[in-house]
Amino acid sequence: MDEPERPQLNPYQVELVEGKRYAWCACGLSKRQPFCDGSHAGTGFEPVMFTAERTETALLCGCKDTDTPPFCDGSHMLIF
């Protein structure tokens, strides 16, 4: 698998909790988008692990094209 799947073009709006560790799905195969469920096994992709710096509503990338994983950077607006 060379390119990730694109489960959706728009970002996922999620509630993050300060200090909690998350695994963002980088392959696009997870059934629990935008979070990893282990579906990447054997794909060459690994989830992006991160710890929320504060409790907040965040936009996590759904198109898997972001340059700032796991956060949306607007890359979905450039996909045709």
Spell out the residues 6+ positions from residue 3 whose beta carbon is closer than 8 angstroms to its own. Answer: none
| Angstrom distance (rounded) from CA 15 to CA 54 | 10
* pTM, 2 dp: 0.93
Are 50 and 6 in contact by the 8 Å Cβ rule? The answer is: no
Query: What local confidence, expressed as pLDDT, does residue 80 receive?
Result: 66
Tokens representing residue 38 in the block? 């282990």
The count of domains in the chain is 1
Query: What local confidence, expressed as pLDDT, does residue 19 receive?
Result: 98
Domain extent, residue 70, equals 1-80
Give average pLDDT by consecutive 10-residue segment, the chain, 80 residues: 94 98 98 98 97 98 97 90
Cβ neighbours of 22 (radius 10 Å): 19
Query: What local confidence, expressed as pLDDT, does residue 1 receive?
Result: 83
Residue with the two structure tokens 């195969």 = 29
Backbone angles phi, psi at 15, to 5 degrees: -95, 120
